[in-house]
Chains A and B, each alone.
Chain A
Amino acid sequence: MIGTGAARMAGEVTDVAPVIQPLAEATGVFSFLWVLIALPLAGAAILLLGGRRTNRWGPYLGVFTVTAAAVYAVVLLIGLMGRSPDDRSVGQTLFEWVFVGGFTAPVAFQLDQLSMVFVLLITIVGALIHIYSLGYMEHDPDRRKFFGFLNLFIASMLLLVLADNYLLLYVGWEGVGLASYLLIGFWQWKPSAAAAAKKAFVMNRIGDVGLSLAIMLIFVTFGTVVFDEVFAVAGEASESTLTWIGLLLLLAAAGKSAQFPLQAWLLDAMEGPTPVSALIHAATMVTAGVYLIVRSNAIYDATVFALTVVLVIGVITMFLGAIIASAKDDIKKSLAGSTMSQIGYMVLAAGLGPVGYVFAIFHLLTHGVFKANLFLGAGSVIHAMNNQQDMRRYGALRAAMMITFLSFAAATLAIMGIPPFSGFWSKDDIIHAAFEVSIVAGIAGMLAAGITGFYMTRMFTMTFLGKARWEDDQHPHESKPVMTIPLIILGIGSVFTGMALLFWGDIVGWLVPVTGLKQTPLPLPTIVYEVITLVLVLAGAAIAYVKYRKDVAVEAPQDVNFLTRAARNSMYDDAINNVLVVQPTYSVTRALVGVDNRGIDGIVNGIAAFVAGSGNRLRRWQTGFARSYALAMVGGAVLVLVVLAVVRLP
């Protein structure tokens, strides 16, 4: 087994380059690859177009399509495992989509090791979230639509990870944007929800521009946008071109994955129903950026600069998110901060190049499970607390909600990276890999892990432990089985996913043909790094526990330090965007509207007024006196004479 801690400890040097696997024709179990996407898409179509007729059974159909997709995904996995490790790329071309001149982009899918794990994550976690939503959205009058949107989300995400070319990926990419827009703004009668949805879409669009430009640059450079064809010749392009492509792809990833500086939408996105947050943060949307970077590894491998930028962005976001998570009192916003931070880890890992790609994906998978767990748990709490999201109003919920408490605890330990919970395996691998490349990155990873310990313990303590700080009329109770069963499953997942993937699933070996892997021995035994990390995490946890165990003010204290205040304001991201982008745009718009109305249209109307005015002035010459007419004629005669004479003179 390559790439594991054991191998690293043994001081082995690993250097496996990614291979372009031959694209096998989709036959046998793979022949219905397209069904994977078609299932949730059909579900979405039926639910959204069917109207009220489907109200009664619609949600169940929504659950069914995704569950069926999950089952098929498992079948596919089995099928894929049956192939040799270097021949696990299966392609299916449906039809030519865009073909002009030398440009072609088919509607074609590619299932390989990387997309397979994403498909599994998306469909399985997605299915759990769907099931959970049956309970969570039980009383919402529009829940049919909700399931329609969820299905659309899943379909788009599957398209994103299964596309075999960048342009088709782009369709899924924006489809995810659309679905998230719909879901974040699901309660759109709330102006804040509608605004948050718009914000998410627009910030995503900024990233999309990056993707769109990247696709163009890829085509202009390589003459194709099909993954395998591009990657086959990626190394031949000039480094500057590759750097540009890499940076543009990073911009795209930053938009989708809420990385600095496009992170501002993520916290607002908490306006959506909680299952949506779970879906966005765990299984879909935000993972897309990481997918894009890892998928494009052939490009990044050839450009150190772009990789470094990826790394830096990951580190910045990792801290930003962690700090924000530490200060937010809203449970969902705090979780959102944690997502930012965890995705920061993955981007950091991806920024390490071949050293880290695998671990980025590994962490993505474990995170997918425990973050879904956390969000669904939070949703369960919120549900129980009559939509109260302020953790200062929680406390002592353990007794009331045992299942939620336990599963949340499992997920909390997982995200903190406590062994042997799943997060430990993936996060430690990232930290190790980071130290291989740069001590700074490694230390950053450790520190962020410490902060993770702090904010997760803070959240956990404020919610489940300590004293009850509930508002009146609160009678928290455990949620219904339809919600708790997914929690239980995810809770178990939070414990075991890491180990299962690493030891039983050989996630590293599985992914290496796609991503490649480089490993060099670290100067110190890996256990040293692990211990240091663990100490930091526990220290953070201890501080939080001590601080929040007992006296938590119901009103957030105002006499806090600058960092806390900044973190409460999400590091002033809105204010900064406002000053740098929004306000200038408004000003320019106002100016341009003025230019248009008074300037351009003013000129047009001015010409018209001038013409009319000239007419009126000339009209005055027509005095009505015959003698003045005669005078004009004499003047005319003179004019004629002069013109004739002038012409004749030379």
Chain B
Amino acid sequence: MNPENYVILAAVLFTIGTVGVLVRRNAIVVFMSIELMLNAANLAFVAFARMQGNLDGQVIAFFVMVVAAAEVVVGLAIIVAIYRSRRSASIDEPNLLKY
């Protein structure tokens, strides 16, 4: 199979993730969309690694996974804290800071 298709798939996934961030209200879902974007990048790295014929991209993917995991820890912590104080996980609800 042509690795370029994987790149295209990655782009599609990235777009889906972006749209998810823009349209979903639930903070968890928004967060998942971001993870999707990161993983789209991972897919692109791996696909490009294949196309380029070196392993760098695959190694990078591992790095990204670790970083993403760390991000989850921090992100969930913040979301949970917000949820506890506001009883809502809507990302639109915290709206005191504006203008």
Give the B-binding residues of A (Cβ under 8 A). 619-620, 622-627, 630-631, 634
Contacts and interface: CB of A to CB of B under 8 A. Distances in A.
A625 B95 contact: yes
A626 B90 CA distance: 11
A547 to B, nearest CB: 90
A631 B22 contact: yes
A379 B23 CA distance: 101
Contacts of A623: 95, 98
Contact of B22 (A619, A622, A627): A627
Q: Is the interface of B mostly helix, strand, loop or mixed?
A: loop
A509 B97 CA distance: 102
B99 A627 contact: no
A622 B99 contact: yes
Contacts of B99: 619-620, 622, 624
Nearest to A618: B99
8 contacts: A622-B98, A623-B95, A625-B92, A625-B95, A626-B91, A627-B23, A627-B25, A634-B18
A627 B98 contact: no
Contacts of B22: 627, 630-631, 634
A624 B97 contact: yes
A579 to B, nearest CB: 59
What 8 A-B pairs come out closest when comparing CB atoms? A624-B98, A624-B95, A619-B99, A630-B21, A622-B99, A626-B91, A625-B92, A631-B22
B34 to A, nearest CB: 10
Contacts of A620: 99
- The A contact surface, by secondary structure, is helix
B56 to A, nearest CB: 25
A625 B96 CA distance: 9
A624 B97 CA distance: 6
Contacts of B92: 625-627
Contacts of B91: 625-627
B82 to A, nearest CB: 11
B95 A627 contact: no
Nearest to B95: A624
Max chain B CB contacts within 10 Å: which of A620, A630, A634?
Answer: A630
B10 to A, nearest CB: 16
A614 to B, nearest CB: 14
A627 B30 CA distance: 9
Contacts of B25: 627
Interface of B: 18, 21-23, 25, 30, 91-92, 95-99
Given A627-B30, A627-B91, 7 more contacts: A622-B99, A624-B97, A624-B98, A626-B91, A627-B92, A631-B22, A634-B18
B79 to A, nearest CB: 12
A501 to B, nearest CB: 93
A155 B30 CA distance: 96
Contacts of A634: 18, 22
A306 to B, nearest CB: 75
Nearest to A634: B18
A625 B22 CA distance: 11
Contacts of A630: 21-22
A608 to B, nearest CB: 20
A620 B99 CA distance: 6
Nearest to B93: A625
A631 B21 CA distance: 9
Contacts of A631: 22
Contacts of B18: 634
Nearest to A631: B22
Contacts of A619: 99
Nearest to A620: B99
A630 B18 CA distance: 9
Contacts of A624: 95-99
A623 B96 CA distance: 10
A634 B17 CA distance: 12
Contacts of B98: 622-625
B63 to A, nearest CB: 23
B29 to A, nearest CB: 11
A625 B24 CA distance: 12
Contacts of A622: 98-99
Nearest to B21: A630
B76 to A, nearest CB: 16
A619 B96 CA distance: 15
Nearest to B91: A626
A630 B92 CA distance: 12
Contacts of B97: 624
A625 B23 CA distance: 12
Contacts of A627: 21-23, 25, 30, 91-92
Nearest to B97: A624
B31 to A, nearest CB: 11
B1 to A, nearest CB: 28
A628 to B, nearest CB: 9
A99 to B, nearest CB: 67
Nearest to B92: A625
A634 B21 CA distance: 10
Nearest to B34: A630
A185 to B, nearest CB: 63
A626 B97 CA distance: 10
Contacts of B30: 627
Q: Which of B23, B25, B97, B99 has the most CB of A within 10 A?
A: B99
A622 B18 CA distance: 20
B95 to A, nearest CB: 4
Nearest to A623: B98
Nearest to A627: B22
A627 B34 CA distance: 12
A619 B98 CA distance: 9
B57 to A, nearest CB: 23
A619 to B, nearest CB: 5
A620 B18 CA distance: 24
A160 B30 CA distance: 95
A166 B33 CA distance: 93
B25 to A, nearest CB: 8
A619 B92 CA distance: 18
A612 to B, nearest CB: 14
A454 B36 CA distance: 117
Contacts of A625: 91-92, 95, 98
B69 to A, nearest CB: 22
A631 B25 CA distance: 13
Contacts of A626: 91-92
A627 B92 CA distance: 8
A627 B95 CA distance: 11
A627 B18 CA distance: 11
